[in-house]
A and B are shown apart, each in its own frame.
Chain A
Amino acid sequence: MRALAAVVAGLLAIDSGAAADPGRAIFEGQPGAAGAALIGSARVPIQKFACRNCHRRDGEGGGEGDAPPITWQALTQPTEERPAYDTRAFARALSTGKAPGGRDLSRLMPRYDLDEEVVAKLIAHLTRLPAEQRAGVLPDRIVLAVPVQAGDLRLAKALEAAIVARQPPNGTHGRRIVLQMLSGDMPEILTSVRSEATAVLSPVHGTAEFTAAGIPVLFPLAAISEADDPELVRSLYATREQLHAALAERARTDGCSLDDGATDCALIADGGGAVVGDWADTTRLYLTVESAHALGPAIVGIGGTLVIARHEAATLTRAAATEQEPLDVHAALVAEILLDALTVAGRDLTRTALMEAIGQVARPDLGLSFRPGAPSGSDAVAIYVVNPKEDR
């Protein structure tokens, strides 16, 4: 049973959340955002053309199309091309495409049909954005939050040791990484992180709650989804979709049928919620480590073989090769990628700039690199074959 316990250890369930701030909803394109975008003579849901798509999540602009900065602090400063915006000029620009002074905005900028009240909420969000995006970014340090579960400091200490061992004496661009250990319930942790930390580092639980609050999550322990926003989540490991594909492929090469109604093999997807085949009577059960955890004690009663896929192959393979503790290897990989990313991001650091910089890190020596638009740095999956009865 020890082998099985080791394979299924350290898991979490992922919940969902939603933002309730109308200004943020428009900026980020969240469901329920009020208003419409106008593309030529056609109206489309505003979520399709959220501000952050072009102006970035930090509102600082740049990138494709060279969109200008739209934080309220930037808009209310005059530039060589236009006078300063005020509320009325901003509303007019959104609805007509005319900047203050009469210049036409780029044709890449859609027009928007927004109520006056909604425009005010959007301005409020644009006003808060610079401080929110620079939470935890101080002149001499960057603060990352590490949630501590049930007083277990092993992960937090491993992360701290790995960062300290690799961090230049004067930090990166003059800033040293400081970890803030946080315990308590999720609302308390969210309140602290929202204003005091740039990102959450390697949480065991609650990735969705953090990202729903606009807080980036770096290198969570649980598998993420390919659909996760890489501006809010970066993982070192394979996604849930990749785990599922690897299990299906393994079943195929094992000669197992996973069609509905088959009794010889079964595939359980995330959390035990999606089952292909009748797993109770199966002789070979294919499942992710999170599914194994969700099944709990029932898994021991299975008479057949378990084929378990783990997403943390990048760490597990390295740990096996170097005879190190997986926790220490995870911490080392986190420190390497994080310090590379801070170098790339430069001195003018925002949450969004950090997340984008991680996307530019490529470390083939560590088996990690981030494809454009993908939140995960590795697609490697580790497969373990376990027989619970023989293992007892």
Chain B
Amino acid sequence: MPERIIVPFGPQHPVLPEPIHLDLVLEDETVVEAIPSIGYIHRGLERLIEKREFTEYVYVAERICGICSFMHALCYSQGIEEIMKIEVPDRARYLRTIWSETSRLHSHLLWLGLFADGMGFENLFMRSWRLRESVLDVLEDTSGGRVIQGTCKVGGVRRDIGAEKLAEMHRALDPFEEQCRDLGDVFLNDETVKYRLQGLGVVGKDDAYALGAVGPTVRASGVAIDHRETGYAAYGDLGFKPVVETAGDCYARCAVRVKEVYASIDLIRRAIDQIPEGPLDVKVRGTPDGEYFSRVEQPRGEVIHYLRGNGTKHLTRARIRTPTLANIPILVKMLPNAQLADVPVVVLSIDPCISCTER
């Protein structure tokens, strides 16, 4: 039997923009066990709920993560709105959907670039991030912020996107989709990419479900869970079907995200077509008294904000369960039998977001 050695992976590693640590137990070059640890950048953001008024905490929520910033604010706001029985105006629901899907585009294109970089395909990395740049330009144009949008609030949204700007976005979607499909064609059909990804980090449907995985990670194993199906924001009006693959390997996880880029473009297009005129917000009266588990589908999967108020302007508890935290168990199951050189690709395939995880 080969000698077992432990190789530390992270917390600082070229493929990890944020710190997570894995102790990799190896026999020769083969991983036999992976033991994760987190907590290098724990910020205690949940505790801040006791110091900020419930309307102000949106600013904190959107700073949990720099990639799915808008969707954290949305999840928090929807939770408060549910507790306080606030009906959000239709136009605000559509604008929330447009910004959510634009954020998903930004996140998936960011991930595709990082994934290409992890595979050693530098040219593909540059192509992905060039497209991402144009998405960031749209976010900046419509919200004023490339990373933190600051547009979501309890009761609606803070700013509108004018008809002219929406028409401009709509016109830009066709050439943008064409470029994304060119890019996706490489990820889905290039022989070197397939050779690198297929059969790597395989998790079957039953295991993925039992391990509580979420997002593209679980959908790539054939489980059709996507919270947009519950119809929050304007998803109920637009209609939505989850993107599902069945192979459960790194290639399938990549394919789900590539196809979700196309789905997001389609959702934005239909949201722009159908967005109604009307107010952007409603006045928030009173204070939250009650509790709710608010759930939203982020780019990495289902995020949960558990919110609890006691009728004062400060909530008593915010507990945030982020998708990466839910995907750590499946990552631990993916790694055994992988080669050491494949570990960065397998780790990246769950799209880990550590700033979310740490809160």
A and B physically associate: no
